[in-house]
Structure 1
Amino acid sequence: MRCDLIISTYNNPRALALTLLSVANQTRTPETVLIADDGSGKETAQVVEAFGQAHPHIHVRHIWHEDRGFEKNAILNKAIAASDADYLVFIDGDCLIHPRFVARHLQLAHPKRFMSGSLLRLNADATAGVTEGDVTNGQVFDRAWLRRNGTTKRFSARLKAGALPQSVASLLEVIYPVRRNWCGANASAFRDAILAVNGMNETMKYGGEDKEFGLRLMNAGLKGRHIRFTAPLVHLDHPRGYRDEAQIAENRAKLAETRNSGRTWTPDGISKDALPVA
């Protein structure tokens, strides 16, 4: 089964460079790494080029569009359309993924299911201190290191850091009482299922834009499967200057409409048709 990894990014070249180093450590390398770039400057392009030169065995594609404000869903749709893989894994370009991350997503892949994970959030000070060596030697996933950096104070965070044997953690994922929402920073599904709902809704900006997509997948008959305890992912802190409370409120209304209507197709997705072509 062919698998592509889609990484969304916007003007955070340091974080992207660290993210790509964690990709290079995967036990299961994706066929292609697609950088879904929402209009970054030349520094990001230089990071992508340098990574490709340093890791010629990893196929990297840089999918870019002009900066028009927060249009993450639009660039994700371009990356999905550019892929020819069977299965797509999604992360953000400020996330460090455990060496078994891609393999775990593929292990549980099923045509009627999407995967949705979670995040271990570093604070600003810990983020500033992360080095390339911390990523390549795996220290950022060490529970003692995470504890020293204040990341695992909560019990659920300790579980996300891999405190349990995988068999126990896998069972806990199934019974843990949380909603199975699509988390755009740690998620995956078969590409055919994504195309069947026409990908992401490009009218939605920051704030729940990924959950709306997940709702349409569920309306189409897919079930969410959590991998919050068996696919560790460390999130690097960053400011969110694009946060807009009015837009978030508008997104909530769109989420409610998608949930209540049961619709699966968005006319503002990969295809701009009002309905899927028969």
Structure 2
Amino acid sequence: MNASDPVSVVITTYNRSDALLAVLDGLSRQSDRHFEVIVADDGSREEHVRPIVESANAKALKLVHVWHPDVGFTAACIRNRGVALASSPYIIFLDGDCVPERDFIAQHKALAQTGLFVNGSRVLLSPKLTQRVLAGSEQICGRSWLFWLGQRVLGHASKLTHLLRLPDLPRRIERAFSWKGIRSCNMGVWKADFERVDGFDESFSGWGHEDADFVLRLHHSGVLRKNGFCATEVFHLWHQEANRNKASQNAQRVKERVKNGLIRSTLGYSQARLNDNARISRL
């Protein structure tokens, strides 16, 4: 992919406007400016929607905000909605609590390759460092290795791999399906491949493993995983874990699909959506 080629960044969010504003700030600092932003909002309350649509960065990024009513954790559905509004042939998924480094877009483009999707990773930040970022008293994009070494020593960052930039070597490609490290919070995929598997499966309810199912079906369709370590890491802002009472049930469904070779969603991207109260704002 050329640096001038456009990509679409689809960001999921829910009732965390302070974190999303930090993510948008990171996107506003990108070295590569050839991208659009779609915020896929899983039913945030109005007090969390308003700061986003009114923010200066949202307008500077020419952001599109798509919202649907809150009916529980429906990440698969809102991601599909976001992709439906994307105008570029390549989609980068990002979560609304994952702040990108300045070369995030450029690195994803450098790793993009036909027949592959890019699975990125994240650096976990501590509650204390997260609070400083959310308060606007600490900027984490573009900081030196010395700053991050200090944060690592103090226990505020889980690793330092984001400081390295390793070349695009064949060893990045995984030819067998693996659950380990699947991150839809940082993932790049061709829109044509997304459509081939009919996107995320919206029949998965509650938190967990809808991203593993998506990756598995990509694998069944012949699209392999390329790891974006030491290239596309994002800074994950701390938060309490979501309710995971459906995780084991969802995991079992994925295990069954490992055996049956399913490619297309049972309830996916291409379904008709009539009178469902979605709201779209173009800034």
What's the TM-score, normalizing by structure 1? 0.86
* Deviation of 1:232 (Å): 2.3
Moved more, 54-63 or 258-267: 54-63
**Match in the other structure for 1:23:** 27
> Within 1, Cα distance between the matches of 2:261 and 2:150?
44
SS at match of 1:63: strand
What amino acid is aligned across from residue 68 of structure 1 in structure 2?
V
Provide structure 1 residue ranges, at least 5 long, that are not aligned to the other structure.
274-278
* Deviation of 1:33 (Å): 0.5
> Within 1, Cα distance between the matches of 2:144 and 2:201?
34
Question: What is the CA deviation profile of residues 50-107 of structure 1, one whole-angstrom value per residue up to 9, with x for unaligned ones?
Answer: 33x3464421010100000101110001111111211000110001111111111111
What amino acid is aligned across from residue 45 of structure 1 in structure 2?
V
- 1:190 matched to 2:193? The reply is no
SS at match of 2:37: strand
* Deviation of 1:121 (Å): 0.5
C-alpha RMSD of the superposition: 2.5
The 5-angstrom pairing of residues 35-184 of structure 1 reads 35-51=39-55, 53-54=56-57, 56-130=59-133, 131-132=135-136, 134-135=138-139, 138-139=142-143, 142-152=147-157, 157-158=159-160, 160-162=161-163, 164-167=164-167, 170-171=168-169, 174=172, 179=178, 182-184=182-184
Quick check: 1:219–1:264 contact (8 Å CA) kept in 2? yes
Moved more, 23-32 or 134-143: 134-143
What's the TM-score, normalizing by structure 2? 0.84
Provide structure 2 residue ranges, at least 5 long, that are not aligned to the other structure.
273-283
Moved more, 89-98 or 26-35: 26-35
Quick check: 2:97–2:237 contact (8 Å CA) kept in 1? yes
Moved more, 109-118 or 178-187: 178-187
Quick check: 1:114–1:225 contact (8 Å CA) kept in 2? yes
Quick check: 2:25–2:57 contact (8 Å CA) kept in 1? no
* Deviation of 1:208 (Å): 1.3
- 1:233 matched to 2:234? The reply is yes
**Match in the other structure for 1:267:** 266
> Within 2, Cα distance between the matches of 1:44 and 1:126?
22
> Within 2, Cα distance between the matches of 1:116 and 1:262?
21
Quick check: 1:90–1:185 contact (8 Å CA) kept in 2? yes
- The number of equivalent residue pairs is 263
Q: Which structure features the higher share of helix residues?
A: 1
What amino acid is aligned across from residue 33 of structure 1 in structure 2?
V
> Within 2, Cα distance between the matches of 1:90 and 1:149?
30
Moved over 6 A (4+): 175-178
**Fraction of identical pairs, as percent:** 26
Question: What is the CA deviation profile of residues 96-123 of structure 1, one whole-angstrom value per residue up to 9, with x for unaligned ones?
Answer: 1111111111111122000001111112
Question: What is the CA deviation profile of residues 1-51 of structure 1, one whole-angstrom value per residue up to 9, with x for unaligned ones?
Answer: 321101000001111111110010111124320001000012322222233
